[in-house]
Structure 1
Amino acid sequence: MLYVVDDELEFTSLLKELPSPIFQSLIAFNDSTLFLDTASLESDDIVILDLQMPQMDGVEIIRNLSTRSRDINLILISGMEGAVLNSTSMLASALGFNVIATFSKPFKLEQLLKVVAQASAKIKQSPQHTHYQDDAEGFSKHDLCSALKNNEFVLFYQPQIDLQSLHICGMEALIRWQHPQLGMLAPDRFLEQMKSYDLLDELTDFVIEETIKTETKLNKEGIDICASINISASSVINLSLPEKLENLISDAAITPSRFCLEVTESELMTELVPALDTLTRMRLKGFNLSIDDFGTGFSSLQQLHRIPFTELKIDRSFVSNLMLDSESQVIVEACIFLAHKLGMSVVAEGIEDEQTVKKLVTLGCDVGQGYYFAKPMPEHALFEWIKEHLPVDNTVNILRTVK
């Protein structure tokens, strides 16, 4: 269901006239109190919320919603400056809401139509709509240990594309749980519990070993692309990790430059000294290092100065709003400029449309990742995807053209 909370009657009338069955069936509220009292919200509902309501403002509405259900999809709109929209979006995300997009008035209705249509399609395809509805919070340590023992965890790979040549240049390894009853589970269903039970190191070992196996197969096929692996906080401070990784790739006869270890800013803040030790020695051994979700932490510039990163990964929250929000565009442009000045490459994740690709190319971004190019896929599908885009000269190229 699509809900619109806006005190402008003309706006809601215009939405109903849009050529889309989604908007023709929307429920509009011009009174925020009435919306909170009567709307029965489900996880697949989308709420278009104007922040400037007369009875209570958008922040108050979001706060009230958070006491009832946080599994709601929001599109925020406002005539205020972009900074207000950004702050409200961050607040809503921190409270657990899924903020799809933000719009500054005035905006084109066609843009809103496109965003809502894409979001609706994605929601319908999400795991909670294709698998059982059980909540993952009930998983015990025994459940997770059994999953590790029984090889129920699998890796999916999402291609990374060189935005200048449009060749595949890398892939990110992403963990999934093939649960025997619940089906395929995304990491947000189990990672926090793995962390609470001190199982992340074992899971990270699995990801590393499986990624090395995949890289070995690609190497035998003559396909040279880099694999990115997310490293947990506990692994970052493991002083034996550099030697362990070096031995594993040596046995597989693969060079360290084919691997990029991704670390988030928050993980670096746990124990800085051992993290600095481990990551510096990783770089000395030839591994690439990426600072993930850049711009969302509290000491980004300090971390760039401390640790020899080779790659900066712009957080998807900025990329997804690149064409809708001038502040996001400024931040993305600044990240690209800063990274290049420091000799780092830049990856933009969360790309979902051609307009964003074109803009990133204009801004000089190096690598793109997102559903626009390819969704995460299991190993066999990755090889099929590569072969479909593999010309006779063995140069991997995607079939999209950016004009």
Structure 2
Amino acid sequence: MIDTSMNILIVDDHAFVRRALATMISQLGTHQITHASDGDDAMRIIATATPDIIICDLAMPNMDGLALLRELSTQQFAGSVILSSASDASLLRAAANLVTAFGLNLLGVLPKPSSQQQLTHFFNQHQQRYIQPNKTPQLIVDNSKAQLQKALDNTQFIPVLQPQIAFSSGECVGLEALCRWQHPEHGMLSPYFFIEQIEQAGLMAQLTLSIIAQSVQALQALPAEFANTTLSINLTPSCLTSDMVNTILADHALMTLAKQKRISLEITEQTELLSDSLSLELLSRLRMNGFNLSVDDFGTGYSSLQQLSQYPFNEIKLDRSFVSQASSDAQSAAIVDMAIQLANKLHMKVVVEGVETHAQWLCMQQLGADICQGFLSAKPMEPHKLAAWLPLWQASYNVIKAQSSEALRA
């Protein structure tokens, strides 16, 4: 625990709850603790002293917790919020989403009764985020169209590969190609620094073809252990043109892999596909030529049952937001379970993204997901590092497998 004093405001209409929380907080450091019985009371306190963290109940008389959150948003409150409530899981999840929608900094949800361990975790999160000095200056990157075109011409955009693991065997069955900018001055940059600008500049097709060519070459150079591994490549709707698809179908190396069922195209941002006959024709042509088609981030945005009913997808990728909550939230688990059952009935594979803990692995495995992708098994890496990663993962999988067996017996 970082020994830094903070100003904590507890907003709850029950005096006993406020006292209990204050007692736990006082054991975590020399923090200044202030009490408020409702939102109106809290706003009067905030007017004279801005807290670092607000621990907020939802159901309160006068101004309730939701109204308080809205008011904090209008005042651009820059501290952190912890929701504390005995409400059911669906309301807590909606309230947590509301905090984010308001642009506030959510540390997490503290169910009642609260625990000192949970408070310690949230306080550490706040202090690491806001109190520790940020030693990394914010990068200012020239991502103008001219600079992006120069980077493309010099093959500075490269693929890194993230392994996809079969839950049933622990085998690496797939690799997703993710784009990075190998910048000559700033080093390896994430898509945050360029992908939106690439799209706006009309360079997405050129970038995609470059990543495809490099990824296929990297896949072919991998050792024999990866001989049957599939390659997943992201394809945005702006790339779904007749010229682009014809270029893909004319790529001999890519088509050889596609006919072996080793290429998956992950279709992102499906809003532009809706009621688009050309998209339907082009995707159908790709499927006819052996490509697997995956619905990326299924369950969010415009990825929905409509895509599954209209387009020839044979895989869904469940968004990480569902995966992260399913091991601890019954409703999220029910949503994942429903999606997996639907995919099974449609004879589609299910890839789950964002698996970071053993609890998440066990939950997804028990719910029947096919393939795991996440930091638990591997972060994205340069292709030449895969050979060294594989035996390390196999050793880790043996431990995970033993822990899973023990958990199932318990």
Provide the residue aligned with 1:367 in structure 2.
Answer: 371
Any conservation in 1 of the 2:223–2:387 contact (CA below 8 Å)?
no
Compared CA separation, residues 29 and 397, structure 1 to 2 (3 A)? same
Q: Which residue of 1 aligns with 2:155?
A: 151
Per the alignment, do residues 122 and 11 of structure 1 end up closer, same or farther by CA in structure 2, a change over 3 Å counting?
Answer: closer
Read off the aligned partner of 1:158 and give its amino acid letter.
Q
The CA deviation at 1:206 is 1.8
Task: Tell me, in whole angstroms, the C-alpha distance in 2 between the residues paired with 1:25 and 1:153.
Answer: 49
Cα distance between partner residues in 2 of 1:286 and 1:60:
54
Q: Does structure 2 retain, via aligned residues, the 8 Å contact 1:4–1:27? A: yes
Contact 2:166 2:372 survives alignment (8 Å): yes
Structure 1 residues 388 and 92, CA, compared in 2 at 3 Å: closer, same or farther?
same
Structure 2 segments unaligned to the other structure (5+ residues): 12-17, 37-41, 406-410
For residues 161-211 of structure 1, the C-alpha deviation after alignment (integer angstroms, 9 at most, x for no partner) is 111212111121111223333333221232122222212222212221121
User: CA shift at 1:10, angstroms?
Assistant: 1.9
Q: CA deviation at 1:83?
A: 2.5
Q: Within 5 Å, which residues of 2 pair with 1:20-39?
A: 24=29, 30-31=35-36, 32-33=42-43, 34=45, 38-39=49-50
Deviation, 1:357, is: 1.1
**Separation (CA, whole Å) in 1 of partners of 2:244 and 2:398:** 35
Q: How far off its partner does 1:57 sit?
A: 2.4
67 and 114 in structure 1: CA distance in 2 versus 1, 3 angstrom threshold? closer
Give the structure 2 partner of residue 14 of structure 1: 24
Once the two structures are superposed, what CA deviation does each residue of 1:41-66 show, in whole Å capped at 9, x if it has no partner?
Answer: 7xxxx986654577562464367447
Please say if 1:172 is aligned against 2:176: yes
Query: Is the aligned partner of 1:283 residue 2:260?
Result: no
Distance 1:227 1:122 in 2: 37
Would you say 1:247 and 2:250 are equivalent positions? yes
| Amino acid in structure 1 at the alignment position of 2:88 | E
Alpha-carbon separation, structure 2, partners of 1:181 and 1:37 = 46
Letter in 1 for 2:280: L
AA aligned to 2:235 is: I
Rg comparison, structure with higher value: 2
- Shift of the 163–62 alpha-carbon distance from structure 1 to 2, 3 Å rule, reads farther
Aligned mates of 1:231, 1:62 — CA distance in 2: 38
Write out aligned runs for 1:314-329 (5 A). 314-329=318-333
* RMSD of equivalent CA atoms: 3.7
- Structure 2 vs 1, CA of residues 371 and 81 (structure 1 numbering), >3 Å: closer, same or farther? same
CA distance in 1, matches of 2:144, 2:237: 22
Structure with higher RCO (Cα < 8 A, 6+ apart) = 1
> Residue 201 of structure 1 contacts residue 234 of structure 1 at CA under 8 Å; is this kept in 2?
yes
Structure 2 counterpart of 1:204: 208
Give the superposition deviation at 1:293: 0.9
Distance in structure 2 (CA, Å) of the matches to 1:354 and 1:230: 27
Whether the aligned pair in 2 keeps the contact of 1:239 and 1:277 (CA below 8 Å) is no
Match of 2:14 in 1: none
Post-superposition offset of 1:246: 3.2
Further displaced range: 362-371 or 374-383: 374-383
Which residue does 1:57 correspond to in 2? 65
1:308 aligns with 2:312: yes
Correspondent of 2:139 among 131, 134, 143: 134
For the residues of structure 1 that align with 2:197 and 2:77, how far apart are their CA atoms?
21
1:319-348 per-position Cα deviation (integer Å, ceiling 9, x unaligned): 111123222111111111111111011111
Hey, what does 1:383 align to over in structure 2?
387
* Matched AA of 1:179: H
Letter in 1 for 2:65: D
Q: SS of the counterpart of 2:251?
A: helix
Whether the 8 Å contact between 2:85 and 2:112 is mirrored in structure 1 is yes
Q: Does structure 2 retain, via aligned residues, the 8 Å contact 1:59–1:88?
A: no
Residues 5 and 50, structure 1, Cα contact 8 Å, conserved in 2: no
Determine the structure 2 residue equivalent to 1:20.
none
Distance in structure 1 (CA, Å) of the matches to 2:342 and 2:179: 31
Secondary structure (helix, strand or coil) at the match of 1:155 reads strand
Question: Alignment length, in residue pairs?
Answer: 383
Cα distance in 2 for partners of 1:182, 1:211 equals 23
How much has 1:229 moved relative to structure 2?
1.2
User: In structure 1, what is the equivalent of residue 95 of structure 2?
Assistant: 88
Letter aligned with residue 10 of structure 1: A
Structure-to-structure mapping, 1:77-116, within 5 angstroms = 77-94=84-101, 102=109, 104-106=111-113, 110=117
Percent sequence identity over matched residues? Answer: 31
Partners of 1:27 and 1:187 in 2: CA distance: 41
- The verdict on how the C-alpha distance between 1:308 and 1:266 changes in structure 2, with shifts beyond 3 A counting, is closer
Of 305-314 and 217-226, more deviation after overlay is shown by 217-226
The residue aligned with 1:357 is 361
Q: Using the alignment, how far apart are the partners of 1:258 and 1:287 within structure 2?
A: 8
Q: Report if the CA contact (8 A) 1:167-1:398 is conserved.
A: no
CA contact (8 A) 2:265 2:293 kept: yes
Q: Aligned to 1:254, what secondary structure does the other structure show?
A: helix
Give ranges in structure 1 of 5+ residues lacking alignment.
18-22
